[in-house]
């Protein structure tokens, strides 16, 4: 059992981003939307989109890394290629449908087709219900929901038969603990959007599923904890937050052919937090 010291239970090498690939995505061509990450004081901190991109490349996929932040998206590509993987950067603001259409078409052209798409887009503004404004609400819903609809819509036209979609949601879709109703509402809508995509894709054998992470140690998670220090001080499963690599492995399973009969499903990656395991 490869774990760290007490307080790091279940922290196997896969949870830390270590270990060789097993060829589970050999020959697959995958677009990851939101493959960059926000800036963080800790250069080793990894976000969900970057971890997903790196893991997929390690598993043999050619990965188109899309992001509106050129530098961050390009850094993900550089990490992939430094490991001997195949990565390509595509710039896109996913709230602009014309850019989304171009992104999907460019990714398909660069990779020679698309077998899978991961949609990892999201912001949180830290606003509660009492200080929410129309503008702040619309901004979060535009990025966290409308952009996903644009990507799913255009991905359906480019995905090969037998392909798969994975949406990245959040445990905030089930619990109001983030105290950010715009974020929670947008994340709660993603499983419904996923089911619509699964229904539309089913005749062509295209699956769509959701990964809903709990408290994860990412740059975005650290920013949330800085705004609200009690976020990560509550009792946590295994006495720790999850890692972006654990989210990435869940997405890997759902995008892979190992999940061939899993469709329209919301996979919660929270160590059992929603089930009340942590006390």
What backbone phi and psi angles, to 5 degrees, belong to 25?
Answer: -125, 25
What backbone phi and psi angles, to 5 degrees, belong to 165?
Answer: -115, 145
Strand (E) or helix (H) holding 29: strand 29-33
Is-catalytic flag, 183?
yes
Rounded Cα gap, residues 185 and 205, in angstroms: 29
54 in Cβ contact with 80 (< 8 Å): yes
User: β-strand 29-33 against 159-168: which pairing, if any?
Assistant: unpaired
Distances in Å between the alpha carbon of 144 and those of 119, 147, 150? 10, 6, 11
Distances in Å between the alpha carbon of 128 and those of 80, 94, 125, 255? 38, 25, 9, 34
Please calculate the CA angle 163-91-80 and round it to the nearest 5 degrees.
Answer: 65
Catalytic residue among 83, 88, 183, 261: 183
Residues with a known catalytic role: 183
């Amino acid at each position: 059992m490869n774990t760290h010291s007490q307080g790091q239970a279940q922290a196997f090498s896969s949870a830390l981003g270590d270990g060789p690939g097993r060829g589970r995505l050999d020959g697959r061509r995958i677009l990851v939307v939101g493959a960059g990450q926000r800036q963080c004081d800790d250069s080793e901190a990894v976000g969900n989109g970057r971890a997903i991109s790196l893991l997929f490349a390690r598993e043999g996929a050619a990965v188109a890394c899309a992001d509106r932040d050129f530098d961050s998206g390009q850094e993900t590509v550089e990490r992939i290629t430094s490991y001997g993987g195949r990565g390509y950067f595509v710039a896109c603001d996913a709230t602009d449908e014309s850019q989304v259409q171009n992104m999907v078409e460019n990714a398909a052209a660069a990779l020679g087709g698309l077998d899978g798409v991961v949609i990892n887009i999201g912001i949180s503004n830290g606003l509660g219900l009492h200080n929410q404004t129309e503008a702040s609400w619309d901004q979060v819903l535009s990025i966290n929901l409308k952009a996903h609809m644009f990507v799913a819509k255009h991905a359906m036209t480019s995905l090969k038969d037998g392909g798969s979609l994975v949406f990245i949601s959040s445990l905030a879709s089930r619990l109001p603990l983030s105290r950010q109703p715009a974020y929670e509402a947008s994340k709660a809508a993603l499983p419904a959007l996923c089911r619509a995509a699964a229904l539309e894709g089913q005749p062509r054998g295209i699956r769509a599923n959701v990964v809903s992470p709990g408290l994860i140690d990412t740059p975005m998670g650290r920013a949330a904890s800085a705004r609200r220090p009690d976020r990560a001080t509550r009792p946590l499963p295994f006495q720790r937050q999850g890692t972006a690599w654990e989210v990435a492995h869940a997405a890997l399973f759902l995008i892979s052919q190992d999940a061939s009969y899993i469709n329209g499903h919301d996979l919660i990656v929270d160590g059992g937090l929603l089930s009340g395991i942590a006390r």
